Amino acid sequence: MNAPASAAHFEALHQDSDDPWGVFSRWYEQRKRALLLAALPRAHYGRGFEPGCSVGGNTGALAARCGQLVASDASDAAIARARGSLRGLPNLQLETWSFPQRWPETPSDLVVLAELAYYLPPDDFKAVLEELPRRLAAGGHLVMCHWRAQVGDAPTHGDAVHAHALRSLALAHVGGWMDEDMRIDVWQNGGTTSVGVAGGAQEHGGAQ
């Protein structure tokens, strides 16, 4: 197991590159973003939270689905880059926060952990899983999305963090996606878990 990467490590990555993971240029990242957005059970959320937003690869698309979105990263350079590319979004609040030490004060309707959980020290990830039911509003959703292979500078890998979450989270698992490269899982904090029922869908079959 690798040692957890430090905040200084991520600051150096963002100082050295405008887009360390190619979130705006790689087809993998574009496809992952489309799958993540498709996995969201609701068309719109009141309050969203995206910790570990890096340079904002997913942030603009998530802001379009939220009334208010707080996106944070521990790297000053990452947040500066995100501010530059996402300028003019009135519903977006970008913060230089360490996670999980800082959360929004108000519970969120949506929390997105994308390519973040396997970088957290094990004790921090455990604390996140214990804290999430309190940080999610009633009926709110958690989405986790991670690369499935071992990441060179991460202490664990995507399958491990998702398996741990599936075992430990006091939330209802309501769906997801998995292929050779990535895994997406969605949990809900109480309420109706059927998208069709929540949206007023009627039963199929028979003349109307």
Identify the pLDDT of residue 88.
Answer: 85
Between 23 and 52, the more confident residue is: 52
From CA 97, how far away is CA 104, in angstroms rounded? 10
The residue extents of the domains of the chain are: 7-191
Question: 208: which 2 tokens?
Answer: 């109307």
Q: How confident is the model over 131-156, as pLDDT tens digits?
A: 999 999 999 999 999 988 777 666 67
For 130-144, b/e burial (b = at least 16 CB within 10 A) is eebbebbbeebbbbb
pLDDT at 5 over 60: no
**DSSP secondary structure letter of residue 200:** T
* Contact criterion met (CB below 8 Å) for 119 and 161: no
Length of the chain: 208
Mean pLDDT of the chain: 87
Distance of alpha carbon 184 from its chain centroid, rounded?
Answer: 10
Confidence of residue 55 (pLDDT cuts 50, 70, 90): confident
From CA 160, how far away is CA 150, in angstroms rounded? 10
> What count of other Cβ atoms lies within 10 Å of the Cβ of residue 28?
13
Confidence of residue 12 (pLDDT cuts 50, 70, 90): low
Reference 45, options 132, 183, 133, 138; nearest CA is: 138
> What count of other Cβ atoms lies within 10 Å of the Cβ of residue 55?
25
From CA 194, how far away is CA 144, in angstroms rounded? 19
Q: Which CATH superfamily is domain 7-191 in?
A: Vaccinia Virus protein VP39 (3.40.50.150)
Beta bridge partners of 94: 71
> Which helix (H) or strand (E) covers residue 27, if one does?
helix 27-39
From CA 142, how far away is CA 112, in angstroms rounded? 6
From CA 172, how far away is CA 193, in angstroms rounded? 8
* Contact criterion met (CB below 8 Å) for 182 and 115: no
pLDDT at 23 over 80: no
